[in-house]
Amino acid sequence: RNSVLLLHGLLLGALLFFVAAGELMKYSVPEGKFQKKDGSLIDINDFDPVELGPYPKCHPHHKEYEVVDASGTQKWELINNAPSAGPFPPGHPENPEFLAKRDAEAKRENREEMFTWKGLQPSLHLLALATLCVALGSQHGVWLFTEPESNEEGAGEAQQTTMLKKEDAYWFPVMGSALLFSLFIIYKYLGSEWIKLMVSVYILVMCTFTFGANMGNLVDVIKGTVTKPLFKVPYFDINVTVFDILGSIFGAVMCVAYLLTKNWIINNLFGISFSVMGLKKIATSNAKTGAIMLLGLFVYDIFWVFGSKQVFGSNVMVTVAKGVEAPIKLMFPRSVNGCGNLEFSMLGLGDIVVPGIYIAFMAKWDAVLKGSGKATSSIYLTVCMVAYALSLITTVLVMLIFNAAQPALLYIVPYVLAASAGLAFLRGECREVLAYDIPDKEDEDAKSKEAKDK
């Protein structure tokens, strides 16, 4: 319990620190002007796409490019309507001259700024929030796993966890691919603003109730007991406490604010809340199931980042991550563009929740070892957290060196699996780790009810 409270405090402190750091990066650019990288100001109408690339958000022709038709007439075309095979004239984000120039400039800047505060700040931001989310979700999951049953009628039901079976692990990459590709079709080809808004609102509604549930859980940890529910939502079989309701009201206010502003701070608050709740409420029943899930999503991540462009003409993962205006990712300010707007690095919530589910299982295994007197510290959790942090550092370094989006699970999965397997081997506990199975309360309750009926 004390560890959970400490991690809440550390996460809040990190969030506040990096919010301040990100907001201090901002500066204003006069209306109607554009600031070039050398600091000089130009009139926005003098923006040259040959020199500067696609038209920015503060330009009247943002998301458009200029073409000359067969009759020699110049006209404006939407970038989304451009033929996938090209050609891509200046002003189009796929223009080869622009891509080569941008890549060279980015690599040079990365080399020059890698060890400056400007270069380190977004990477440290990513590392701090991601690792603290996994640590907090894992430790809170252990608290729910080891806490004594509440005496309040119905209170314990609110803490039930969805246990993943082996067949669920096999289906994870398939269902994830179907969802990702569906979103790609919506954002790449349909272009309907109403559909995009519906997707955003659906995700935000889930974030609102998740935020409320997290607030209720935090109050439970502070009190040291589970709060008695006011009522149960029948269809979803969810118990609701007064603190859940108060938290959801606050979450709804943030939801409206996000829809109006798309503020990155609110995005991260919802993203952190969603990640932590996922780690508390979704668990793997054993190490083998967790490993199968990780390996399946390892292949999934590599294909959709590296292989999808050759198949579908666009990087599906990047298209969805940039297109969905909802908290499906954490955002880390890295620079300010010529319009005076923040630009961001991103980390998908799946890169937190997926490895976090496996790490949370290892944290529960630590609790079993400590309960039996075979360990005095959370050694599996500690080793897995170090491996997770090192994998994120590797991801960032490769991304900066090659200036290309990286599938984080490509690095996270080998690090975490190798670390946990190596530790089990060194301690002589491989057989015990693989044999341990967390009992599913729902299955036990069903069997108990069936026995009573007989």
List 220, 244, 301, 440, catalytic entry: 301
pLDDT digits (tens, 9 = 90+) for 3-27: 889 999 999 999 999 999 999 999 8
305 shares its domain with 263: yes
Res 447 pLDDT > 70: no
Q: Is residue 116 part of a domain?
A: no
Dihedral of CA 322/325/330/335: which sign? positive
For residues 351 and 363, what is the distance between their CA atoms, to the nearest angstrom? 18
For residues 246 and 281, what is the distance between their CA atoms, to the nearest angstrom? 20
8 shares its domain with 56: no
Token pair 């729910």 is found at 144
23 shares its domain with 150: yes
240 shares its domain with 343: yes
206 shares its domain with 271: yes
| Of the listed ranges 181-190, 297-306, 361-370, 439-448, the one predicted with least confidence | 439-448
215 shares its domain with 97: no
Q: Which of 94, 90, 61 lies closest to 78, judged by CA?
A: 61
Q: Which of 265, 273, 291, 157 lies closest to 215, judged by CA?
A: 273
Note the Cα 376 to chain centre separation in Å: 32
For residues 168 and 276, what is the distance between their CA atoms, to the nearest angstrom? 20
pLDDT digits (tens, 9 = 90+) for 152-195: 554 444 456 788 888 888 888 899 899 888 888 887 777 667 77
Domain that holds residue 209: 2-27+121-453
> One-letter amino acid identity for 392?
L
Q: Find out whether 356 and 74 touch, Cβ atoms under 8 Å.
A: no
Note the Cα 33 to chain centre separation in Å: 34
7 shares its domain with 76: no
Q: Is residue 190 part of a domain?
A: yes
Q: Is 443 designated active site?
A: no
pLDDT at position 448: 54
pLDDT digits (tens, 9 = 90+) for 236-266: 667 788 888 999 999 999 999 999 999 999 9
pLDDT digits (tens, 9 = 90+) for 186-237: 877 776 677 778 888 899 999 999 999 899 888 888 887 777 778 777 776 6
Q: For the chain, how long is the longest CA-to-CA vector?
A: 85
Look at residues 91, 111, 131 and tell me which one is the last residue of a structural domain: 111
18 shares its domain with 45: no
Which residues does 425 contact at the CB level (< 8 Å), separation at least 6? Answer: none
Q: Is residue 437 part of a domain?
A: yes
pLDDT, greater one: 305 or 448 = 305
pLDDT, greater one: 443 or 98 = 98
Which helix (H) or strand (E) segment holds residue 336: the answer is strand 329-336
73 — phi, psi (to 5°)?
A: -85, 135
325 shares its domain with 381: yes
8 shares its domain with 51: no
Map residue 49 onto helix, strand or coil. Answer: helix
369 shares its domain with 427: yes
Q: Is residue 404 part of a domain?
A: yes
Q: Find out whether 273 and 328 touch, Cβ atoms under 8 Å.
A: no
For residues 247 and 250, what is the distance between their CA atoms, to the nearest angstrom? 5
Q: Is residue 265 part of a domain?
A: yes
Res 149 pLDDT > 90: no
Res 338 pLDDT > 70: yes
Q: Is residue 303 part of a domain?
A: yes
Mean pLDDT, all residues of the chain: 87
Q: What is the mean pLDDT of residues 418-445?
A: 85
Q: Is residue 193 part of a domain?
A: yes
pLDDT digits (tens, 9 = 90+) for 117-135: 888 999 999 999 999 999 9
Proportion of the chain in helix, strand, coil states, percent, rounded to 5: 65, 10, 25
For residues 273 and 266, what is the distance between their CA atoms, to the nearest angstrom? 11
Banded model confidence at residue 451, pLDDT cuts 50, 70, 90: low
Domain count along the chain: 2
List 168, 220, 244, 351, catalytic entry: 351
> One-letter amino acid identity for 188?
K
13 shares its domain with 45: no
Residue 59 C-beta-side C-alpha neighbours within 13 Å = 23
Q: Find out whether 314 and 307 touch, Cβ atoms under 8 Å.
A: no
pLDDT at position 157: 44
Look at residues 76, 111, 146 and tell me which one is the last residue of a structural domain: 111
Model confidence, pTM? 0.89
Q: Is residue 420 part of a domain?
A: yes
Look at residues 56, 88, 111 and tell me which one is the last residue of a structural domain: 111
pLDDT digits (tens, 9 = 90+) for 351-386: 999 999 999 999 999 999 988 888 778 899 999 999
pLDDT at position 441: 63
Banded model confidence at residue 320, pLDDT cuts 50, 70, 90: confident
Which residues does 446 contact at the CB level (< 8 Å), separation at least 6? Answer: none
Res 443 pLDDT > 70: no
Q: Is 237 designated active site?
A: no
Q: Which of 345, 344, 347, 328 lies closest to 199, judged by CA?
A: 328
Which residues does 121 contact at the CB level (< 8 Å), separation at least 6? Answer: 18, 21, 333, 334
Beta-strand relationship, 162-164 and 282-284: parallel
pLDDT, greater one: 189 or 302 = 302
Which residues does 334 contact at the CB level (< 8 Å), separation at least 6? Answer: 121, 122, 343, 344, 345
Q: Find out whether 385 and 123 touch, Cβ atoms under 8 Å.
A: no
